Chain A
Amino acid sequence: MIVALSRAAAFTGAIILLVFGMLYTETHSDVAWLLLLLFCGILMMYAILPRMSDSVPHVNSTIVSIGAICMVGFLLMTVQLVRIQIVQADEISQRSASVADGSVVQDPRNRTRDRDVARGRILTRDEDVVADTVEREGGVFERTYPNPHLSYLAGYHSPALFGNTQLESVYDETLMGREGGNPFNEWLDQVLHRTRHGYDIQLTVDSELQRLGYDLLGDRDGSIVVMDAETGAIYAMVSKPHIDPNRLYAGYGPNMDQQVSEASEYWVQVTESEGSPLLFRPTQGLYAPGSVFKTVTAASVLEHGLADPSTVFRNEGALVVGSHVIEEQNLPDDGRVSFTLSESYGYSLNVVFADLGIRLGRERLSETARQFGFESTIPFDFQVSQSRISSNPEYLDADIGLAETGFGQGQLFATPLQIAMTTQAVVNNGMMSEPFLMHRIRDNEGVVLSETRPSSWQEAVDSSIASELQQIMIESVESGWATDAQISGAVVGGKTGTAEVGDRTPHAWYTGFAGQDEPRFVISVIVEHGGGGGAVALPIAREMLVMAMDRID
């Protein structure tokens, strides 16, 4: 009885160990896995070997034992087969190594497996083409990006050399028609070796809006993000400078060698060129936010009851913090020294916000910033860099650190998407929506297979505080430094920012919203080293918002 129990225990233990090992040992550290298999093999043998005393002639009993040992061997082989062919199959196919002479050892099937599949297109909401597939002579497919103002949104697709990035990477399986439709039909296509068609992806981006932003930035570096105030749908996402993905394409067609050498050459060119064109600024560019961060400080002040929008603050033109003096540069020239919180925001008074930063303290200010998405990864179609409150936490223990952070300098770094989403939370009753670029998936006959459903991400502030903030932003456009942003017949709110970056010309920022009866579109604009936010970024934003209200229903 005890023997039977211990055998059952050994058998169960071996199975549990095998499952555990299969899921948790890495492909590369095979020694641990092999030792585990050996151990499980011994357990199994203990569990199934017949006892010699089982009264049959010993020759027969020994033959049964030998057979049992064989079966354990076969069992371990089936386990290893499952591991190689199912559990780690994808990982093994993707494994590659570079050899000393520069050649790469990789699975040759990667070259051939999708040779005859026309990769799906990427389109804008108004059916303009971001990425296209064209058939060259001899039935070879090549990826092209016909529109410069849209092309870089897709990322690049370079199967023979660099792989995929951005949309081309995230939606690779869908674009190749392997995922996103009816799973049974996809499987059937594969089993029956039918010609597959890639699925098209339609974005939320509007081509004309995107083109306008592209032209407005012109030769200047920077980024523009326009999104829906409620759903988080992205209507424009401009980044400058940018790559030309056409020139990074290298496929396995007959021109492969030429494409590879040209793409490598271009790669060296873009990686060495000034301005980092490979950096997709809306999601990966990290900038000092300057005064556009004052929305977060104000939110924290309101949230923790330090003041309400009409609380009056004195501003003598300078604030002494320890051995530092913060001088006010943004005072309106009417000689006043008292301002409400709302006016301080509208005139972007650094002295007031420095003082508020100190009074909030590290915990409260950081907490509100985190609620607005700082220090988290914003869920998006592709990777978004985390915005930072400070590079080292001790920085906010000192008053000068809190003061500088309070008005948006210090060690703050934010992505343009983060700044747009801060405004989006304000106009969406304090709730941040998940931003998204992919609108829907269609098959090659235009039938819609699936659509992105907008969803909420996290609550930044209470809805009552959000509506106070929204009013403060509207007043900023009615009477502050952002009056140029006014659009007749529309609700407009916004905040300019001029972020100091050492000795160089400051970054020009603007973030705001506009809509017919209620806020409908949210924008953030940054022009790197562009100068004053009100003079440089604001006009771009205004034009973009006017077009957005005109074009998007």
Chain B
Amino acid sequence: MRAALERFRFTEFQLLIVPSLMAIVGLLTIFLARTGQATWSWADIWVSLAYVALLVGVSLWFSATGFRGDQALFPIMAMLAGIGLLMIQRLQPELAERGESWANLASRQVIYLALGFLLLWGMMTFVRRLNWLRRYKYTLALTGVVLMVITMVFGVEINGARLWLDLGFVLVQPGELVKVILVVFLAGYLADHHDLLTGHYRLGPLRLPPIPYLIPLVFMWLMAVMIVVLQNDLGTALLFFGIFLAMLYASTGRLLYVVAGLVSFVIAVYLTYEMFSHVAVRVRNWIDPWASPLGIGYQQIQGEYALASGNLFGTGLGYGEPGVIPVVETDYIFAAIGEELGLLGTFAVLALYMLLITRGYLIAIRAVSQFERLLALGVTTILALQAVIIVAGNLRLIPLTGITLPFISAGGSALLANFLIIGILLRISESKWDRR
């Protein structure tokens, strides 16, 4: 009995009160705003009740199995995923107007969320350690490349981007998994070559990084530029290259590599801007969407209208009109939050991401092995960069790109990949206890 009490994750359990209440009250608000009546039954908000049950269930399972990892990570994630759940439920009537295939998007999102929890549970139950991943880094890298090639060849094109694979009953986005695979590979690779830190060699007057760093640097740089040129996807390019630079910097401590990589990337992007008109159109639209208010600028203009209408307190859940923004359920869900929950809501979401990221980097700092440290750093950077790239795009700080807002945007593949990341972080956070 005492042992059980010692193992009980009090902090986590208490922190789960907030996301639980938010899910229940939020869904009730949405339901009442929609019907305009003050009568409801528990059945109307079964989705939130199920969500709360999942949260409590997973936390209790952690306690029961004696899991000793980070206690804040799971509640923060629960909060973000809860906001996502609410927003998709709220947008459902608007989405349903678009056509038949959109009618059950909200229910599908609930299933993905449940699968995400299942994945988390599975990981925490069956995967005890992560160090073995290091041995399979080349196998994983190959898998990643194969996935990308399959997507490019057999993929389904939606909105001009070939990112989806049709499995018959569902569309999946292998790119989301490839991000994580990339991090695992880089963590393994950089940890292996950790000892070569001091070496460098000369090529005439130039001092170049040691070959083991030079090769991936050039390779990643080329890959990022190719993504910009071929897919016109500045966001994904920025994400891949950013993850790599962060991990390279952490493993070598050389700011010079990062600066050189960034500068050359900016120059390359500028050159593609000059050379390829489709890239230029995006960049011009970033500076002035009003140049084409019914064309490419329409989405950004509507997004800005939504954010501006939110003001400090927002219209209240269910009282705004976020449905007028094209692709609001993924690209522009942040603007929808801004409209209905106001500046307070958007600040809260940003604060949650900052907490999540801080937590992730703390886990990286406390990790016991170099591989785990780089792995934690890499997966946290995936979340950080994704949040920054899409929110900054919504706010017109950088050109808009079709990256999803972690845990909040609609979409199963991204959600599962993000749960995988949380699973990895939780595992690594426990590794210092394993040593004893």
Contact = CB atoms under 8 A, between A and B. Distances in A.
A95 B365 CA distance: 48
A67 B309 contact: no
Given A31-B287, A85-B342, A89-B309, A74 B350 contact: yes
Interface string B192-235: 00000000000000000000000000000000000000000000
Contacts of A59: 250-251, 253, 370, 373
Contacts of A398: none
B309 A107 contact: yes
Contact of A85 (B287, B298, B343, B397): B343
A30 interface: yes
A1 interface: no
A318 interface: no
Interface string B30-70: 00010000000000000000000000000000000000000
A92 B300 CA distance: 12
Interface stretch (A75-83, A227-235, A329-337, A474-482): A75-83
B301 A108 contact: no
Interface in B226-250: 246, 249-250
Interface stretch (B101-109, B131-139, B168-176, B313-321): B313-321
Given A84-B304, A85-B310, A74 B354 contact: yes
A435 to B, nearest CB: 35
Contact of B304 (A71, A92, A103): A92
Interface in A58-91: 58-67, 70-71, 73-74, 76-78, 80-82, 84-86, 88-90
A271 interface: no
Given A31-B287, A108-B324, A81 B319 contact: no
Contact of A81 (B290, B301, B338, B377): B338
A76 B361 CA distance: 20
Contact of B358 (A52, A67, A82, A95): A67
Contact of A97 (B290, B311, B370): B290
Give the size range of A's interface with the partner: 35 or more
Nearest to A67: B361
A86 B312 contact: yes
A105 B301 contact: yes
Interface of B is mostly: helix
A80 B343 CA distance: 11
B150 interface: no
Contacts of B304: 84, 92
A107 B293 CA distance: 12
Nearest to A49: B255
Give the size range of B's interface with the partner: 35 or more
Contacts of A113: 309
B72 interface: no
Interface in B241-291: 246, 249-251, 253, 287-288, 290
A425 to B, nearest CB: 44
A37 B397 contact: yes
Interface in B78-114: none
Given A66-B381, A81-B395, A191 B311 contact: no
Contacts of B251: 59
Contacts of A73: 388, 392
Contacts of B249: 62, 65-66
A335 to B, nearest CB: 75
Interface in A92-139: 92-93, 95, 97, 99, 103, 105, 107-109, 112-113
B273 to A, nearest CB: 15
Given A59-B250, A66-B361, A81-B346, A108 B354 contact: no
Residue among B250, B324, B392 with max Cβ neighbours from chain A (10 Å): B250
A63 B384 CA distance: 13
A30 B361 contact: no
Contacts of B321: 108-109, 112
A449 interface: no
Contact of B365 (A37, A60, A107): A60
21 contacts: A28-B290, A37-B397, A59-B253, A63-B365, A64-B365, A65-B249, A67-B361, A70-B357, A73-B392, A77-B392, A77-B397, A80-B396, A81-B350, A84-B308, A85-B307, A86-B311, A88-B308, A89-B310, A92-B304, A105-B293, A107-B305
Given A81-B350, A105-B301, 15 more contacts: A31-B287, A37-B397, A59-B253, A61-B253, A63-B250, A63-B361, A66-B250, A66-B361, A76-B397, A77-B395, A80-B395, A81-B395, A84-B395, A93-B309, A105-B293
